[in-house]
């Protein structure tokens, strides 16, 4: 099978490529990535000599380039996205370009070439949910610019499925964590700052709740959907690990031998959703998928990876550790 992976130098995309080629060494994967914020060539260093892996630097909004790449592929798996809420509050334009215009470009090509698309979305399209979990038919209700662009992409995909009979599947995942996650996100940010004995900023009172999914479990779910998913369907992917942010930080500090004295509560970000939640019974029942990595075990693996790979994150700009990036 020939896969075109977009955004494959990012956290989830690179883990997916490594995981897929380890399970299916016969697959051929082309990775297109614009090498913008969050991309890292080192993520895929193990594949430098793999003849079944090819990297192309380019943007998914480049229609001429994408037409050539999609023509030579069986399936497009679209990870490419601007994905950090904080930066979308500071400047939404890159999110509009990548998440909406980029998705449209892919759709318009697969419509004509009759190819398959698996589009990676997020639980954030449903907005904040207090005591319920959203199933695949739940109303889209995004609260921030990032989530709004992801919801818009879903709507465009659904419209193409209906109008042009395209072969598209949407997946939505909860918060991923694991090796190679860009240091701006909560878990790697906490690990890195703690290792330097620096203050760890926590928004508001730290009671915002997320469900945490180890990245390889997410990759396995996507592979399952690639093999068994039904066209024009959407699948929620979650692990039922609902934990608030302050508990996450305290767990990391405890595992690393530090106390909560490193925690520093800072002003909450605008429109900060209290809780996200997905009902993933569809993929569990229909495709027989289940997550396999226990949260604490996954957290220990993640901490261990960052401690053994400090050269990976030391090259990142210290600007990502600003506590309130929307403030000038």
pLDDT in tens, 56-95: 999 999 999 999 999 999 999 999 998 878 889 999 999 9
CA 321 to each of CA 49, 196, 318: distance values in angstroms, whole numbers, following the listed order: 34, 12, 6
User: What's the whole-number average pLDDT of the chain?
Assistant: 93
Mean pLDDT score, 157-168: 98
What pLDDT band is residue 318 in, cutting at 50, 70 and 90?
Answer: low
Query: pLDDT value at position 323?
Result: 47
**What six digits make up the tokens of 121?**
């979305």
CA 283 to each of CA 76, 172, 224, 290: distance values in angstroms, whole numbers, following the listed order: 20, 11, 9, 8
What pLDDT band is residue 288 in, cutting at 50, 70 and 90?
Answer: very high
Mean pLDDT score, 266-274: 89
Cβ(9)–Cβ(39) below 8 Å? yes
116: left (phi over 0), alpha (psi -120 to 50) or beta: beta
Query: pLDDT value at position 82?
Result: 87
* Choices 3.90.226.10, 3.10.20.30, 3.40.50.720, 3.30.450.20: CATH for 2-174+214-237: 3.40.50.720
Per-residue burial over 215-225, b if 16 or more Cβ lie within 10 Å, else e, is bbbbbbbbbbb
pLDDT value at 175 more than 80: yes
pLDDT digits (tens, 9 = 90+) for 33-65: 999 878 899 999 999 999 999 999 999 999 999
Q: Give CA–CA dist 244/123, Å, rounded.
A: 16
SS3 172: strand
Of residues 151 and 320, more confidence is placed in 151
pLDDT digits (tens, 9 = 90+) for 186-195: 999 999 999 9
Cβ(163)–Cβ(311) below 8 Å? no
Query: pLDDT value at position 205?
Result: 95
Mean pLDDT score, 103-109: 98
pLDDT digits (tens, 9 = 90+) for 242-262: 999 999 999 999 999 999 999
Q: Which residues are catalytic?
A: 123-124, 146
Query: pLDDT value at position 280?
Result: 98
Mean pLDDT score, 171-187: 94
Query: What are the extents of the domains in the chain?
Result: 2-174+214-237
pLDDT digits (tens, 9 = 90+) for 118-158: 999 999 999 999 889 999 999 999 999 999 999 999 999 99
End-to-end CA distance of the chain: 48
């Amino acid at each position: 099978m020939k896969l075109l992976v977009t955004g494959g130098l990012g956290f989830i995309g690179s883990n997916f490529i490594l995981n897929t080629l380890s399970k299916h060494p016969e697959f051929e994967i082309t990775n297109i990535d614009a090498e913008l914020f969050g991309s890292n060539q080192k993520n895929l260093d193990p594949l430098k000599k793999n003849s079944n892996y090819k990297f192309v630097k380019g943007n998914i909004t480049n229609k001429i380039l994408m037409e050539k790449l999609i023509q030579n592929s069986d399936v497009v798996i679209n990870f490419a996205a601007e994905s950090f809420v904080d930066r979308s509050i500071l400047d939404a334009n890159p999110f509009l370009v990548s998440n909406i215009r980029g998705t449209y470009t892919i759709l318009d090509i697969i419509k004509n070439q009759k190819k398959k698309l698996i589009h990676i979305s997020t639980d954030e399209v449903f907005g904040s949910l207090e005591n319920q979990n959203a199933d695949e038919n739940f109303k889209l209700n995004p609260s921030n610019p990032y989530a709004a662009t992801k919801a818009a992409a879903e709507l465009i995909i659904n419209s193409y499925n209906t109008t042009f009979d395209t072969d598209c599947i949407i997946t939505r995942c909860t918060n991923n964590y694991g090796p190679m996650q860009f240091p701006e996100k909560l878990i790697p940010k906490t690990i890195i700052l703690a290792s330097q004995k620096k203050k760890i900023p926590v928004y508001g009172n730290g009671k915002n709740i997320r469900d945490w999914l180890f990245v390889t479990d997410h990759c396995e779910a996507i592979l399952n959907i690639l093999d068994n998913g039904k066209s024009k369907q959407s699948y929620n992917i979650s692990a039922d690990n609902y934990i608030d942010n302050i508990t996450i930080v305290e767990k990391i500090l405890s595992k690393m031998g530090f106390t909560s004295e490193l925690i520093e509560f800072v002003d909450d970000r605008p429109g900060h959703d209290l809780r996200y939640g997905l009902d993933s019974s569809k993929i569990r029942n229909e495709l027989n998928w289940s997550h396999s990595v226990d949260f604490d075990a996954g957290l220990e693996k993640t901490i261990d990876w960052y401690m053994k790979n400090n050269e990976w994150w030391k090259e990142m700009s210290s600007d990502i550790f600003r506590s309130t990036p929307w403030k000038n």
